[in-house]
């Protein structure tokens, strides 16, 4: 194995990572997502399971049995997984309004975004005859903002961070006929973010089915998931920690070094905010964990790792060479897994995650290159 073929070659003696005692082996369990989420998504005209692609070359380089990438570069007509959460949450919201006699006209769906969630909300609003207003912080690529506007949404550019955009979106949602559809929660705002998390469960159910088709029936040994505020990671934790006790799946959160709020929160032992910097992984550039995600992350994750811009870039290029379109956020998962499984200190990290030469690894590539 040469330096050019590894994914990624470590630019530092060891990755910035934190492990906590055996999330997979704890007695802590949670309630699974409702089965009707998958049924709802399957009823949508554009629904199809996204590919789970096996990459034997990475398995050889990393010294594990099999490596799979869940490729979310095309999901419900959009280049990222976010449409799963937005569609289910808006479906629940509008059904509730109708049940209580509040469906007197179109609503304005308000949200803040680093790109993919805002476009998903805007697309859902357009398809259902609703309106959307999306707050976009600094650092979001102009193409991403233009794609949101092309869905018919009003776009408000914020001179500030993602957390500031969320604050302004929440204020704007107090207007008559407006409702906040945000994929992060805080005390007093939890129901809609919980629906969004439920929506992501379809991705995990598909992985189970696809692994079974590949003759893997006990589930993966490791799942690497990119983390912004932690909503997708919450869905992943919920899926794997709602199973009966037995052989557990190790769960690894991957964040940019510029915005490693979950890693820092795990290190301290409570949810904290961090000051974010610039990163090409714009969808992960979040400084505060979601309040409803945090208990799941604290109790259900095995480890977290922070990756550099170079890590993500190299991983994206490598996936492209293997035929998978992966934007900077999607490439975070293979970047993080590669940095944990190889390089200085790898033996200790592999032991902490319970991984060996026969282990099955699943990487969540959450967006395609068209998302940025």
Question: Which candidate in 71, 82, 183, 311 is catalytic?
Answer: 82
Beta-carbon contacts of 136 under 8 Å, excluding residues fewer than 6 positions away, are 112, 113, 115, 118, 144, 145, 148, 155, 156, 157, 158, 165
| Under 8 Å between Cβ of 119 and 370 | no
Active site residue 183: no
Active site residue 82: yes
305-324 residues labelled b (16+ CB within 10 A) or e (exposed): bbbbbebbbbbbebbeebeb
Beta-carbon contacts of 27 under 8 Å, excluding residues fewer than 6 positions away, are 245
Cβ atoms < 10 Å from Cβ of 275:
10
| Under 8 Å between Cβ of 362 and 355 | no
Give strand pairing partners of 303.
Answer: 19, 252
| Under 8 Å between Cβ of 176 and 131 | no
Question: Which candidate in 70, 71, 114, 311 is catalytic?
Answer: 114
Containing 192, the helix (H) or strand (E) segment is: helix 191-213
Give strand pairing partners of 133.
Answer: 110, 154
Give the residue numbers marked as catalytic.
82, 114
């Amino acid at each position: 194995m040469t330096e050019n073929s590894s994914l990624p070659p470590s630019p530092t003696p060891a990755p910035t990572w934190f492990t906590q005692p055996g999330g997979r082996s704890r007695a802590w369990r949670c309630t699974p997502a409702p089965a009707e989420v998958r049924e709802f998504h399957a009823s949508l005209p554009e629904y199809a399971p996204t590919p789970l692609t096996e990459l034997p070359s990475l398995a050889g380089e990393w010294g594990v049995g099999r490596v799979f990438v869940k490729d979310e570069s095309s999901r419900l007509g959009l280049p990222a997984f976010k449409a799963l959460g937005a569609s289910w949450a808006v479906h629940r919201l509008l059904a509730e309004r109708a049940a209580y006699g509040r469906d007197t006209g179109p609503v304005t769906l308000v949200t803040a975004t680093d790109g993919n969630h805002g476009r998903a909300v805007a697309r859902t609003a357009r398809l259902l005859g609703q309106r959307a207003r999306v707050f976009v912080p600094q650092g979001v690529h102009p193409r991403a903002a233009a794609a949101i506007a092309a869905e018919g949404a009003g776009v408000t550019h914020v001179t500030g961070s993602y957390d500031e955009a969320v604050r302004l979106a929440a204020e704007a949602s107090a207007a008559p006929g407006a409702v906040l559809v945000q994929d992060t929660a805080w005390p007093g705002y939890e129901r809609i973010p919980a629906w969004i998390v439920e929506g992501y469960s379809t991705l995990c159910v598909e992985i189970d089915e696809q692994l079974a088709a590949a003759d893997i029936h006990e589930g993966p040994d490791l799942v690497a998931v990119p983390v912004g505020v932690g909503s997708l990671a919450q869905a992943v934790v919920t899926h794997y920690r709602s199973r009966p006790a037995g052989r557990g799946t190790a769960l690894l959160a991957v964040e940019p070094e510029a915005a490693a709020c979950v890693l820092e929160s795990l290190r301290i032992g409570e949810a904290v905010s961090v000051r974010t910097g610039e990163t090409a992984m714009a969808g992960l550039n979040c400084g505060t964990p979601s309040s409803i995600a945090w208990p799941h992350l604290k109790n259900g994750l095995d480890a977290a790792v922070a990756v550099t811009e170079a890590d993500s870039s190299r991983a994206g290029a490598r996936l492209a060479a293997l035929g998978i379109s992966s934007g900077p956020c999607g490439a975070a998962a293979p970047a993080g897994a590669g940095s944990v499984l190889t390089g200085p200190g790898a033996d200790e990290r592999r032991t902490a995650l319970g991984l060996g030469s026969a282990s099955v690894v699943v990487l969540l590539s959450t967006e395609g290159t068209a998302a940025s």
